[in-house]
């Protein structure tokens, strides 16, 4: 990990280019807009949690160029993403695809929400609660103190 | 060689012993009913605080005078650094930040010792004992594995300097706030464990826990807001929240603490949700500890992970297992003995608070899964995936949205049995105004995304709902204004605090929606004298010059900002190269107005003598931090409520006003 960090500093120091630069952008605003939307879903492989648009690493620049080449070549957004995933693997996607191994990732929050919500509704529908226990002397005194 | 660092080191080692004493003696005293032993916890907590404060002061002294015989100072400071960053450098590294962590922990312990006069002796003894045990674990970790007082001989002439990204006022002071939040949750944790040992949770318990949790929540709110503000103007991407694992690590305890301050109300008012509230107290602090582990162990690398050291990671993981595992086991064993509270109708104040808790906890779960799943998957199968902002937008978003819709309703439902019709009758004006806002946005934002009108309507609904809440309670527009004013003054502060905090949430939501959907971005190459349009503004690149700071050099670019023919300001964006490391950073040129910021970043030279520029108009972006500040204010109002002060026995009456500061 330390090596990786050193490498990152090195890369940033050697080529401190700004994230997305003007000369990379496509002339056609419609295509450029699509390129930006696709880029937002791709991560810079050598950075922490940055999309390739925000990253200064040369590798991110290569990916940005690749996305634009593919879009200019007339591919759909999905085809461009497929192309990039084929070359760089699932790791490049900031939004993991719904697949058997990501089922837990996507499903857990909603499953828990459903189960807990259902459990609450079922519990509410049945029975009386236990009658409340009378206060002990200690608690009465504490209550009196608190209310003074 | 300066001997002050040695005094600090010695005080730190003494503090380990005192913490152990603070853990063992009051705990046994409480089991045996030994009053003297129970009281011992009070002086131990105060002594522990004094010792750690001496230790912390000694380390700060070493930083201020640049004592390069201390290894920690060599590694993280530089004599050319401004005084402010020499001081913040104390916690801008692994060892020092852990020392700050235990300092704040001890401060909370001392606060319970001093202001806890209204607690039953046994409860206070147990709370202090649990605090002592947490302190002991972390002090031991510092002394054995992460000691900031290690010397180096012979001392070097100069230090290595602090990571330049960390040399910024907002960043310099956000860790103390965040830690005050994280560590503040240890008090709720200590109360929960003490309650499990005693086998009793009641309304009084909730009343004692709630102010401490509120304090922690307020500090967390400020700490997270400061961190996000820093990310906004220092990282130079114009973003304000990145769903970075480290951000998530601070956001998860915040979500659970928010749930906790709401569920504690139900315990206090209705004597229900007791077991759940105890569990939340444990979870909130567990998530804090987990955040410390994730950030400090190097499992997640980022600017926050100062030292990547597996031995330290293993030590913190052990602490984590002991406290989280231990408290959850205790919970499993003792919780069934806590009597469940009364039943309540689904449509009632407490019913709405249960829904609040459910949604907040599931939202926290989404963040949790998104943050840790990639780690788990890689460990189990070796497969690497990334989970970024799009995942959180799709999971956290839909879970939190209904919660925002329900907030104003909840405040209008009565305890025990609420009446939707009545609530709607009182809220119809707020609802109508919110819908109106939605319709206006829809009309102005013809081809924009559907979220724009919905989000803005929800933001307006939160704000108007909060106003309606206060209006209903003071009879505004119905009674004469003077009467309303009198009623406002007489309103319990906590009721006012609730309304203010909810309004702050609405303001924050408006900012989030606006910047997510309507930001204007211009990426363009400019030569000196050329102009680019950013929304209704015109930005002219005037030229650049050299830059020399105390510990950096670089280039500064000047930009003239105009709207129509009116000159508004000259903005400066800088590219700095820091001396010891040669690391580059960017300073953003910022023009702030209430309705948004113009944000200019100077990039690198491109072909033909031009520079690449990134410019933004960020609409309503300051609403985010203003909203957070309003939420903080709400917490402050709530904590000043009379009911947290009354009930203190007479002898303590002259000592303090509020239970926690």
Residue B430 lies in a domain: no
Contacts of A142 in chain B (CB under 8 A): 120, 204
Q: How far apart are the first and last CA of chain A?
A: 60
Domain count, chain B: 3
Same domain, A20 and A63: yes
The chain B residue lying nearest A46, using CA atoms, is B301
Inspect the interface and report whether the beta carbons of B583 and A12 lie closer than 8 Å: yes
Distance from C-alpha of B456 to C-alpha of B463, rounded to nearest angstrom: 11
Asked if residue B176 and residue B153 are part of one domain, the reply reads: no
Residues A94, B346: C-beta atoms closer than 8 Å: no
User: Based on the domain organization, do B259 and B240 belong to the same domain?
Assistant: yes
The beta strands (E) that lie in B462-550 are given as: 520-526, 531-534, 537-548
Task: Express each pLDDT in B442-484 by its tens digit.
Answer: 888 766 678 889 999 999 999 999 999 998 888 777 778 888 8
Residues A15 and A64 in one domain: yes
Q: Which of A46-60, B190-204, B213-227 has the lowest mean pLDDT?
A: A46-60
Same domain, B222 and B133: no
- Residues A63, A8, single domain; the answer is yes
To the nearest whole Å, the CA of B344 is away from the closest chain A CA by 8
Across residues B627-635, what is the average pLDDT? 96
Q: What is the DSSP letter of A101?
A: G
| Domain extent for B57 | 1-162
Looking at A92, A117, A138, the residue that finishes a domain is A92
The residue-averaged pLDDT of A10-36 equals 67
Residue B305: pLDDT band with limits 50, 70, 90:
very low
Q: Do A139 and B202 touch (CB under 8 A)?
A: yes
**Are residues A45 and A12 both part of a single domain?**
yes
> Does one domain contain both B235 and B378?
yes
**Residue B312 in contact with residue B296, Cβ under 8 Å?**
yes
In this structure, the answer to whether residues A52 and A116 fall within a common structural domain is no
* Pair (B121, B94) in one structural domain: yes
How many Å apart are CA B491 and CA B501, to the nearest integer? 16
B298 at the A interface (CB within 8 A)? yes
Inter-chain CB proximity A96 and B386 less than 8 Å: yes
Residues A26 and A75 in one domain: yes
Count each helix (H run) and each strand (E run) in chain A, helices first: 6, 0
Kindly indicate the confidence band of residue B147, based on its pLDDT and cuts at 50, 70 and 90. Answer: very high
Comparing B473 with B539, which gets the higher pLDDT?
Answer: B539
- Per the structure, the complete domain to which residue A104 belongs is given by 100-147
What is the total count of domains within chain A?
2
**How many CB atoms neighbour CB A31 within 10 A?**
15
Residue of B13 and B146 predicted with greater confidence: B13
Averaged pLDDT, B248-253: 93
Interchain contact, B604 vs A12, CB within 8 Å? no
Q: Do A80 and A123 have their domain in common?
A: no
Nearest by CB: A101 against B242, B383, B391: B383
- Inter-chain residue contact A22 with B244, CB threshold 8 Å: no
B346 min Cα distance to partner chain A (Å): 7
Nearest-CA neighbor of B410 among B471, B358, B354?
A: B354
User: What average pLDDT does range B516-527 have in this prediction?
Assistant: 88
Note whether residue B593 is domain-resident: yes
Mark whether A110 and A86 lie in a shared domain. Answer: no
Q: Name the H helices within B491-582.
A: 493-518
**B262 shares a domain with B144:** no
Whether the predicted model's global pTM rises above the 0.80 cut: yes
pLDDT of residue B312: 77
Question: How close A66 comes to chain B (CA, Å)?
Answer: 19
User: Which of A69-73, B184-188, B622-626 shows the lowest per-residue confidence on average (mean pLDDT)?
Assistant: A69-73
pLDDT of residue B650: 36
How far off is chain B from A80, nearest CA to CA, in Å? 17
Query: Are A92 and B386 an interchain contact pair (Cβ–Cβ within 8 Å)?
Result: yes
For residue B421, is it within any domain?
A: no
pLDDT in tens, B331-364: 999 888 887 666 667 788 888 899 999 999 999 9
CATH number at B85 reads 1.20.120
Domain check: are B249 and B267 in the same one? yes
Residue B557 lies in a domain: yes
Instruction: Select the residue of B343, B583, B614 nearest A128 (Cβ to Cβ).
Output: B343
Phi, psi for B413 (deg, rounded to 5): -85, 140
Same-domain check for residues A83 and A118? no
Q: Inform me whether the pLDDT recorded for B103 exceeds 90.
A: yes
For B649, the closest chain A residue by CA position comes to: A145
Place of tokens 């003071």: B474
Size of interface A-B (CB pairs under 8 A): 161
Take residue B529 and report the two structure tokens written for it.
Answer: 């004298």
User: Is there a single domain that holds both residue B87 and residue B221?
Assistant: no
pLDDT digits (tens, 9 = 90+) for B571-623: 999 988 887 777 778 889 999 999 999 999 988 887 777 888 889 999 999 99
User: Domain check: are B66 and B175 in the same one?
Assistant: no
**Closest-CA residue of chain A to B522:** A22
User: Which residues of chain B does A132 touch, with a Cβ-Cβ cutoff of 8 Å?
Assistant: 271, 341-342
Residues B108 and B210 placed together within one structural domain of the fold:
no
State the pLDDT at residue A109. Answer: 93
Nearest CA in chain B to A5: B301
Clarify whether residues A121 and A52 are in a common domain. Answer: no
Residues 6+ away with beta carbon under 8 Å from B393: none
Torsion of CA A113, A116, A122, A124, to 10 degrees: -110
Average pLDDT over residues A84-108: 89
Residues A76 and A8 in one domain: yes
For residue A14, give the CATH number of its domain: 1.10.8.640
Final residue belonging to a domain, choices A92, A117, A134: A92
Mark whether A75 and A136 lie in a shared domain. no
């Amino acid at each position: 990990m330390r090596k990786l960090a050193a490498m990152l500093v090195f890369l940033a120091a050697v080529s401190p280019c700004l994230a997305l630069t003007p000369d990379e952008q496509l002339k056609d605003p419609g295509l450029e807009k699509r390129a930006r939307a696709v880029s937002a879903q791709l991560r810079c492989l050598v950075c922490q949690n940055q999309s390739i648009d925000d990253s200064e690493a040369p590798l991110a620049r290569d990916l940005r160029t690749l996305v634009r080449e593919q879009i200019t070549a007339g591919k759909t957004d999905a085809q461009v993403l497929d192309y990039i995933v084929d070359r760089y693997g699932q790791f490049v996607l900031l939004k993991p695809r719904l697949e058997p191994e990501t089922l837990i990732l996507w499903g857990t929050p909603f499953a828990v929400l459903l189960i807990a919500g259902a459990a609450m509704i079922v519990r509410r529908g049945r029975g009386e609660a236990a009658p409340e226990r009378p206060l002990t002397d200690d608690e009465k005194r504490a209550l009196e103190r608190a209310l003074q | 060689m300066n001997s002050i660092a040695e005094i600090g080191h010695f005080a730190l080692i003494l503090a380990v012993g005192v913490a152990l004493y603070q853990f063992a003696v009051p705990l046994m005293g409480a089991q045996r009913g030994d009053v003297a032993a129970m009281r011992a916890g009070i002086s131990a907590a105060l002594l522990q605080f004094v010792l750690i404060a001496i230790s912390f002061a000694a380390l700060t002294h070493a930083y201020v005078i640049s004592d390069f015989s201390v290894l920690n100072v060599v590694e993280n400071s530089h004599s050319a650094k401004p005084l402010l960053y020499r001081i913040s450098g104390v916690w801008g590294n692994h060892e020092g930040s852990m020392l700050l962590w235990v300092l704040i922990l001890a401060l909370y312990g001392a606060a319970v010792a001093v202001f806890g006069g209204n607690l039953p002796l046994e409860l206070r003894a147990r709370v202090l004992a649990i605090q002592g045990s947490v302190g002991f674990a972390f002090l031991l970790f510092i002394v054995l594995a992460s000691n900031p007082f290690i010397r180096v001989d012979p001392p070097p002439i100069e230090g290595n300097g602090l990571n330049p990204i960390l040399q910024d006022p907002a960043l310099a002071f956000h860790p103390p706030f965040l830690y005050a939040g994280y560590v503040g949750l240890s008090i709720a944790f200590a109360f929960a464990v003490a309650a499990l040992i005693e086998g009793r949770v009641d309304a009084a318990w909730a009343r004692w826990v709630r102010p401490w949790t509120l304090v922690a929540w307020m500090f967390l709110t400020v700490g997270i807001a400061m961190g996000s503000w820093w990310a906004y103007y220092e990282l130079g991407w114009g973003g304000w929240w990145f769903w970075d694992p480290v951000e998530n690590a601070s956001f998860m305890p915040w979500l659970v603490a928010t749930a906790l301050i709401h569920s504690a109300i139900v315990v206090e008012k209705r004597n229900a949700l007791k077991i759940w509230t105890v569990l939340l107290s444990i979870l909130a602090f567990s998530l804090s500890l987990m955040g410390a582990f994730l950030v400090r162990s190097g499992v997640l690398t980022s600017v926050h992970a100062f030292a990547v050291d597996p031995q330290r990671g293993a030590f913190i993981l052990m602490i984590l297992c002991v406290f989280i595992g231990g408290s959850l086991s205790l919970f499993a064993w003792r919780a069934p003995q806590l009597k469940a509270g009364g039943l309540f109708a689904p449509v009632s104040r407490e019913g709405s608070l249960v829904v609040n808790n459910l949604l907040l906890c599931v939202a926290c779960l989404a963040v949790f899964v998104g943050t840790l799943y990639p780690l788990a998957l890689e460990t189990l199968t070796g497969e690497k995936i990334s989970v970024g902002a799009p995942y959180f937008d799709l999971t956290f978003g839909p879970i939190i949205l209904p919660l925002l819709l329900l907030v104003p309703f909840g405040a209008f439902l009565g305890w025990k049995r609420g009446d939707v019709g009545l609530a709607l009758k009182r809220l119809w004006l707020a609802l109508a105004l919110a819908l109106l806002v939605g319709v206006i946005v829809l009309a102005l934002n013809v081809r924009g995304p559907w979220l724009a009108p919905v989000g803005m309507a929800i933001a307006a609904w939160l704000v108007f709902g909060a106003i309606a809440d206060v209006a209903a309670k003071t009879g505004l527009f119905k009674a004469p204004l003077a009467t309303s004013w009198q009623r406002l003054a007489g309103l319990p502060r906590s009721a006012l605090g609730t309304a203010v905090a909810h309004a702050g949430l609405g303001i924050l939501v408006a900012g989030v929606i606006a910047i997510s959907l309507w930001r204007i971005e211009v990426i363009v190459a400019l030569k000196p004298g050329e102009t680019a349009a950013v929304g209704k503004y015109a930005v002219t690149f005037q030229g650049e010059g050299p830059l020399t700071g105390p510990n950096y050099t670089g280039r500064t670019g000047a930009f003239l900002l105009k709207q129509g023919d009116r000159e508004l300001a000259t903005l400066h964006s800088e590219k700095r190269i820091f001396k010891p490391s040669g690391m580059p950073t960017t300073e953003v040129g910022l023009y702030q107005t209430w309705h948004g910021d113009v944000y200019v970043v100077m990039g690198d030279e491109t072909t033909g003598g031009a520079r690449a520029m990134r410019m933004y108009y960020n609409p309503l972006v300051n609403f985010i931090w203003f909203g957070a500040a309003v939420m903080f204010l709400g917490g402050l109002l709530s904590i000043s409520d009379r009911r947290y002060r009354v009930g203190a026995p007479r002898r303590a009456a002259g000592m303090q006003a509020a239970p926690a500061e």
